[in-house]
Amino acid sequence: MAAQGRKIPAWPADQRPRERLLQQGAEALSEAELLAILLRTGNVQDTALDLARKLLRDYGSLRGIDGQTADTLKAIKGIGPAKACQIKAALELSKRLVQEKWKKKERIQCSDDAFHYLRLRMRDLSREVFRVLFLTTRHDIIDDQELFKGSLSESVVSSREIILYAVRCGAAAIILVHNHPSGEPAPSPEDKQITHKIIEACRYVDIQVLDHLIIGHDSYFSFADEGLLN
């Protein structure tokens, strides 16, 4: 391993993250090395790899880093606005790549498909977010939209807005999805009330509510799987 404190350009070529990526492929690098490539440079005391290791140590994992805001990251010595933006942009691209791959599936066939489509985007959010998947009659994804933020209530979640968007994009069915920042996905009485309110409203315009998923940290609750949609 290269000596601590030496600048990365002074390291042997086979130890520099960028050179290793070019020679061996990205999969050969550790998370710290990949993060160091994003950071590009360190500061007076630390190399980019040192900063990457500190981030992983302080926040526990890439997932922990992803849970931080850009403002939090840019306040760290050696990070600043540019590096914070690079980190957040790279992590956002990874989420979009996962969603892009899931969109190429023929259709959403079960609650597990919907969960895996949105879990990276929703599992670690610090506040409640309500998204809707808009689907064709064959349950292909037409679009997904974050429509509401904040604790669910009738004043926050508007059935009318959901229906208007569904009509605009020609959706025949929808899947409701929201997260519980506590990590516990069990539905509250308010979750049940909102779900049935939306179901009743959608019946009048022939839009089928296929499911309502509540996403926790690493698990989910499905209204459809539990027989709670009727």
pLDDT digits (tens, 9 = 90+) for 158-177: 899 999 999 999 999 999 99
pLDDT of residue 3: 45
CA trace torsion 13, 17, 22, 25 (10° rounding): 130
214 — pLDDT class (breaks 50, 70, 90): very high
Question: How, if at all, do strands 173-179 and 129-135 pair?
Answer: antiparallel
Q: Provide CATH code, domain 8-99.
A: 1.10.150
Per CATH, the homologous superfamily of domain 107-222 is Cytidine Deaminase, domain 2 (3.40.140.10)
| Rg, Å, the chain Cα set | 22
Task: Answer whether 216's CB lies under 8 Å from 128's CB.
Answer: no
DSSP 26: G
67 — pLDDT class (breaks 50, 70, 90): confident
The C-alpha atoms of residue 174 and residue 161 are separated, in whole angstroms, by 13
pLDDT digits (tens, 9 = 90+) for 75-112: 888 898 999 999 999 888 888 887 776 665 557 889 99
Share the mean pLDDT of the chain.
Answer: 87
Residues of the chain with CATH 1.10.150: 8-99
Residues of the chain with CATH 3.40.140.10: 107-222
pLDDT digits (tens, 9 = 90+) for 26-62: 888 888 999 999 898 888 788 889 999 999 999 988 8
